[in-house]
Structure 1
């Protein structure tokens, strides 16, 4: 009997070892070829603000340089630290190509082929167009190098086994590209692109399951446990209208941080407005509000 148990344990260990090797060797990501595209730095800088790059990759409270990383994000799975996105050849993206940047941004795959943790909202950035990526890359290339190493994530076991993210991606990640709804107005579709794409509103305003994946059936219904310990409200059409929001009021709040009732945004929305939405054009702010509150002016389509 003891011999059988030993054989079973040895067999299980062998299977586990083979499975681990297979997961590590499992290639992810698709080939990208954007070398011929010419980007616009001004539009890329605007997209970077819209995408939250500055807010997440600048440790403002500790006087960190823009986009040098170091901002901590504590979660139940461990603590993440935003990486250095400057043009440092040693610590940042100075030696990357636009194709590597595109693969990282839209597929969540590093230049070395490793999967990024979903604290980086690459599923939302999958909706960025090739031209969006080229514009962003052109803007990032203007960022001065900051010679500061990115902090290593402090993950709990088994989440520290990065290759295991390949299974998580297969189970939970949707890399669907942006699709317009031709029955809606141009403003509504622009708002949809911003909310579901670069602004990644659903990253904070959608509850997550036991594995940290967004519960898509509860999209924009709010979350009870954000990394900073706070909560995010529901921003569905029904909830916003019930609370008295209008397109004009929501657009103004995203610009100033001041809500229609005179109160102000709190929590992580302070950084979202300060470093992101306050830089957006009135037209884009109105588009966001139009999408969230419903296409109430279909004649504009």
Structure 2
């Protein structure tokens, strides 16, 4: 009995040591930052492409309100209700006490590339750094420069409301081992410059796959079903399949997609709704060339059947 207890304690100690080392935060070294003069105008463009205000701008009413009073007031406060719990979107204004006003450029890049905040704090992937990691260092430096020009707002958001084991931040190190490598977007040598530009925007700043792809039990995107649709993480219904399959956008032309991104109008004369509205409004502010590039990228994806079996009520809509 004593030997069994000692063996159990030894195993528990070994597991704790392994957990500690596997979850050590990985940060970006200062040597990785290029010698780049920040361009706040390009940073604003990346801010728009990434839809940063859609989550971080203070909601007009309750934390569930989709409307925002001012997209430059990044005081946070919105709720993101997911199967893992409720996330309270943080303040990312330049306020030094409740925002990110004390963050250096390296701190910011590390958060975007590695999902680690100052103090070696793991960030939850409700903040889609699994996509943002694909952005170039130059674009991230420019984005930080733009954020620094926005008003500092004092607003302390509440802590996330998560159950066990998701409330153990340290465990996010295991998730990051699986889904975060901090590498820039890698262009496809067999694709056109236009498709690669669209892929960079959609997979990086635009983080399209974060909503349009199903996830596994760990919350990681299922790569074999990427862009093939998913359950709406914040409510009923599904997020549509945007691959060029019969279940997706096979009948849409590149012009149809680009026009939807510009106007919100579908080829069947319907309009988009709900959470896609602010995304489309951001896409409308991009250049026509970039909207066309995103359309070309989506049409280049492998056709995939719907990743989510729709309920009868959803099929009849």
TM-score, reference length from structure 2: 0.84
CA distance in 2, matches of 1:154, 1:235: 32
Pick closer, same or farther for the CA change 1:197–1:188 going to 2, 3 Å: same
Deviation at 1:9, TM superposition (A): 5.8
Q: What value does the CA root-mean-square deviation take over the aligned residues?
A: 2.2
Alignment of 1:181-192 (within 5 A): 181-192=188-199
Q: Residues 100-145 of structure 1: CA distance to partner in whole angstroms, max 9, x if unpaired?
A: 1111111111011111111111121111112101210110110110
Alignment of 1:22-171 (within 5 A): 22=21, 26-33=24-31, 34=33, 36-62=35-61, 66-171=73-178
Deviation at 1:268, TM superposition (A): 1.4
* Paired position in structure 2 for 1:207: 214
Among residues 202, 217, 225, which one is paired with 2:224 in the alignment?
217
Q: Residues 40-61 of structure 1: CA distance to partner in whole angstroms, max 9, x if unpaired?
A: 1111111101012111112334
Is 2:293 the partner of 1:287?
yes
Pick closer, same or farther for the CA change 1:207–1:91 going to 2, 3 Å: same
Pick closer, same or farther for the CA change 1:232–1:4 going to 2, 3 Å: same
CA distance in 2, matches of 1:130, 1:9: 46
CA distance in 2, matches of 1:228, 1:271: 17
Deviation at 1:264, TM superposition (A): 1.2
Deviation at 1:176, TM superposition (A): 3.6
CA distance in 1, matches of 2:20, 2:193: 49
Which secondary structure state, in structure 1, belongs to the residue aligned with residue 240 of structure 2? Answer: coil
Is 2:283 the partner of 1:277?
yes
* Paired position in structure 1 for 2:259: 252
Higher relative contact order (CA 8 A, sep 6+): 1
Deviation at 1:258, TM superposition (A): 1.6
Q: Could you tell me whether the CA contact under 8 Å between 2:59 and 2:77 is conserved in 1?
A: no
Q: Could you tell me whether the CA contact under 8 Å between 2:242 and 2:249 is conserved in 1?
A: no
Higher helix content, 1 or 2: 1
223-232 vs 37-46, greater mean Cα deviation? 223-232
CA distance in 2, matches of 1:99, 1:128: 14
Runs of 4+ in 1 over 4 A off after TM superposition: 3-24
Deviation at 1:283, TM superposition (A): 1.1
CA distance in 2, matches of 1:44, 1:14: 47
Which secondary structure state, in structure 2, belongs to the residue aligned with residue 200 of structure 1? Answer: coil
Q: Could you tell me whether the CA contact under 8 Å between 1:202 and 1:220 is conserved in 2?
A: yes
TM-score, reference length from structure 1: 0.88
Q: Could you tell me whether the CA contact under 8 Å between 1:35 and 1:98 is conserved in 2?
A: no
Q: Which runs of 5+ in 1 are unaligned?
A: 296-301
Which secondary structure state, in structure 2, belongs to the residue aligned with residue 237 of structure 1? Answer: coil
Q: Could you tell me whether the CA contact under 8 Å between 1:225 and 1:231 is conserved in 2?
A: yes
* Paired position in structure 2 for 1:298: none
Deviation at 1:21, TM superposition (A): 5.0
Q: Could you tell me whether the CA contact under 8 Å between 1:32 and 1:103 is conserved in 2?
A: no
Report how many aligned residue pairs link the two structures: 291
Q: Which runs of 5+ in 2 are unaligned?
A: 62-67, 302-317
Q: Could you tell me whether the CA contact under 8 Å between 2:241 and 2:249 is conserved in 1?
A: no
Q: Residues 271-293 of structure 1: CA distance to partner in whole angstroms, max 9, x if unpaired?
A: 2123x212111111111111111
Deviation at 1:153, TM superposition (A): 0.9
